[in-house]
Amino acid sequence: MSVKIRLARRGRRKKPYYHIVVADARAPRDGRFIENLGSYNPMTTPATIQLDIDRAYEWLQNGAQPTHTARAILRFKGVMYKKHLQRGVSKGALSQEEADQLLRDWISVKEAKVADRVEASRKEKEDFRKMISGEIKVVKKATADDDAKEAFRETKEDSSAAEAVAEATEAVTEEPAAVVEETVEAVAETTEEAVEAAVEASEEVAEAVEEKVEEVAEVAEEKVEEVAETVAETTEEVVEEAKEIVSEEAPSTEEE
């Protein structure tokens, strides 16, 4: 028979709590069980867990398999740590007294953490109750008024110092303003000169380009005329040769 350590739901709708039980794996979740090991209430802050550590350890040693949630609860309560320590005792790494002392120390630290969490939760609830009742708001308002009065008094005392700082700031800013104006004028003059030089250079370049274009056009016209004359002369020579050939062939044809 396969045995499980699992949770059995109890309580009512939206307010559940669970029993930590040992049951047959084939039994329904909330059905019959072999032994009740404790309870788990997730509705509290922090969650409330009551568990028989020794009996849970014995069932683990007998082969019972915990579900994921049950394993997390056993680990939280120290059952899995006890199993780890007992394995060390069986291998001779620890004595039984040392293992028991380590387990007690671990449980003490865990319980202290849980107690701190319970106290923090109680304090949060108390602060929330005070906020709802208006106690915290009154305290905060009084503190804000005091802070405002103190700030106004300090501002009034420091007004003369602020005026002195403003005068010094004006005196300091006048000189940089004059320097900035001079710099702007110098930059403007330099920019105008650069623009004029660029315009003159562009005009010179345009004139040079026009001259080159005219020269190239003249050379091209001359070349075209020379080519035309050469073609005309060649054409005349070809025509004359053709006439001579035709005149030589004509008498021979008549004789035949």
Pick from 41, 40, 78: which is nearest to 56 by CA? 78
Q: Among 49-63, 146-160, 189-203, whose mean pLDDT is lowest?
A: 146-160
Asked whether the predicted pLDDT for residue 70 surpasses 60, the reply is yes
| Residue 182 to residue 204: CA distance in whole angstroms | 34
Q: What is the pLDDT of residue 256?
A: 45
| Residue 27 to residue 24: CA distance in whole angstroms | 5
With 0-12 CB in 10 A as exposed, 13-18 as middle and 19+ as buried, what is 190?
exposed
- The share of the chain scoring above pLDDT 70, in percent, equals 74
| Coil/strand/helix, residue 146 | helix
| Residue 116 to residue 77: CA distance in whole angstroms | 16
Q: Mean of the pLDDT values across residues 95-122?
A: 92
Q: What is the pLDDT of residue 138?
A: 47
| Residue 193 to residue 198: CA distance in whole angstroms | 9
Q: What is the pLDDT of residue 169?
A: 58
| Residue 85 to residue 93: CA distance in whole angstroms | 9
Q: What is the pLDDT of residue 155?
A: 64
Pick from 65, 71, 77: which is nearest to 103 by CA? 77
- The share of the chain scoring above pLDDT 90, in percent, equals 42
Q: What is the DSSP letter of 31?
A: S
